[in-house]
Amino acid sequence: MAILVGPDTRLIVQGMTGRAGTFYSDLAISYGTNVVGGVRPGKGGGRHLRLPLFDTVADAVRETDANATMVMVPAHKAADALMEAIEAEVPLLVCVTERIPVLDMVRVKHALKGSKSRLVGANSQGVLAPEVCKIGVMSTADAKPGPIGIVSRSASLSSEVVAQTTNAGLGQSTTVGIGGDPIHGTGFVDCLELFMADPETEAVVLIGEIGGAEEEQVAAYLAESGAKKPVVALVVGRHAMPQRCMGHAGTLSVFGTGTAEGKIAALKSAGALIAENVEEVSVLLKQALGR
């Protein structure tokens, strides 16, 4: 059983007709995701990838009963696209676009409060439930159904851990990329709560990095909730230079905060199993599950 997505997911794509939108929409369709249409202002009434196009998200939802959207809109217009989806009450928004202006994302975060929408991203690699549904840009080559939930800030490390858990004979229930920008929607704790409530997920891999305080929030959640499922944490960036972005816009340690060492210490004290490197993740999982 997956979290966030499932066989009943009906996906529209905002920005479907662009180069990236076309490429990743086609991959999603080929994987079996139920893509029901696209949104491109000015092209409503046309078709793309043999699917109907709509001028607005509201039109698309009304005509297709869509319950999820993938946002592939350039950064300077992405916030407006997200706001439109929130106003149309789309339940799940997955935003691949990275480096959306911070003040734009502040506006989006404010709009999400009290809304009927959940945002994954921005700068998310997406959500993948193996052999069920793919939204985003994640590779599906190594994904296999199984009991391991993965939540990550890093796309490349997600792919590596997916491959490892598959090769270890475990597989994944869902892989979620929360995004590497400093301001985003659904976070680590939100995903852990969903995984802990999912009867098909037996253990969770958390892939963190320097910057922000989400890993520390996970540590507080684990300590307070008494979560029963094993959590294997990999936090990268131990050798990163302070006060310099390392890859994502959100990977920035400033004034001694958000360091890998501090995050690792907090997670370890809360009972998470710490992987020193990516190769240890599947080893720790198998030990924790007695396999």
Q: Known catalytic residues?
A: 248
Give the gyration radius of the chain's Cα atoms: 19
* Gap between the Cα atoms of 188 and 172, Å rounded: 17
* Gap between the Cα atoms of 71 and 21, Å rounded: 8
**Amino acid at position 201, single letter:** T
- Ramachandran angles phi, psi of 164, nearest 5°: -65, -45
* Gap between the Cα atoms of 233 and 274, Å rounded: 5
